């Protein structure tokens, strides 16, 4: 393990305990996977996308966070923001509903319909359990004319999963191509300050799974 500047070195016993805790955590984490294929008429969305991040290192920010969004053909969207400030601590969940104007829908569709996105390989999940200091997972389901394209990537610091090198290269390539979409989802969080309250509605937390890709812990 590499020590971060500003923190006291851990003893061998503390290192072993921390590693075992990380390994154990992944035994019980169910990594999100896309839903089975559905008929076109039962897929009323443009895109359904989620981002998960988690760290086991000392951090000034949250230990774990989730951003999840589903955008419907008419531009209505639901945004889920989940934060966990410390390992084993309580999570806070905020859910909002609003809508995109026609220009914003066109920009989103242009990104989704780019040749680079269309050519991405299907998302392959990481093999679990594994050991990592921190990790990030991004998945996206994109409605196409007759099917749903499922893409995504996994990145980490530490030992990581035991997937093949070819899959790891696919993750790296997908991360580059999907970055504009990841940034687009993150930008939605700032819309609340510019959208009238009547059009930026808070949703009851019971609907946390409305995105359809919420992780189970």
Residue 166's pLDDT is what?
Answer: 98
Residue 26's pLDDT is what?
Answer: 41
Q: Per-residue pLDDT tens, the chain, 217 aa: give them.
A: 333 333 344 444 444 444 444 444 443 333 444 433 333 334 489 999 999 988 887 766 677 888 889 999 999 998 988 887 666 667 788 888 888 989 889 999 999 999 999 999 999 999 988 888 999 999 999 999 989 999 999 999 999 999 999 999 999 999 999 999 999 888 887 766 555 555 788 887 765 555 654 443 3
Residue 24's pLDDT is what?
Answer: 40
Closest CA to 178 of 148, 208, 214, 149: 149
- Kindly report the pTM of this predicted structure: 0.76
Residue 192's pLDDT is what?
Answer: 60
Q: Say if CB 1 and CB 15 are below 8 A apart.
A: yes
List strands edge to edge, sheet with 134-143.
Answer: 148-157, 134-143, 47-55, 64-71, 76-84, 91-99, 201-202
Task: Say which CATH architecture domain 12-32+40-211 belongs to.
Answer: 2-Layer Sandwich (3.30)
């Amino acid at each position: 393990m590499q020590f971060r500047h500003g923190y006291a070195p851990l003893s061998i016993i503390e290192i072993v305990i921390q590693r075992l805790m990380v390994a154990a955590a992944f035994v019980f984490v169910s990594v999100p996977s896309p839903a089975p294929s559905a008929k076109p008429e039962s897929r009323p969305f443009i895109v359904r996308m989620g981002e998960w991040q988690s760290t086991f290192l000392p951090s000034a920010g949250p230990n774990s966070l989730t951003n999840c969004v589903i955008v419907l053909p008419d531009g209505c969207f639901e945004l889920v923001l989940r934060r966990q400030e410390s390992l084993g601590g309580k999570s806070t969940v905020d859910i909002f509903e609003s809508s995109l104007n026609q220009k914003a829908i066109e920009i989103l569709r242009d990104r989704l319909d780019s040749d680079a996105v269309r050519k991405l390989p299907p998302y392959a999940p990481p093999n679990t359990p594994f050991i990592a200091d921190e990790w990030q997972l991004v998945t996206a389901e994109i409605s196409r004319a007759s099917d749903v394209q499922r893409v995504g990537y996994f990145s980490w610091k530490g030992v990581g999963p035991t997937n093949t090198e070819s899959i790891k290269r696919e993750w790296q390539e997908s991360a580059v191509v999907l970055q504009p979409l990841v940034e687009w989802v993150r930008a939605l969080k700032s819309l609340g300050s510019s959208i009238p309250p009547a059009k930026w509605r808070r949703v009851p937390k019971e609907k946390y799974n409305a995105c359809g890709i919420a992780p189970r812990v």
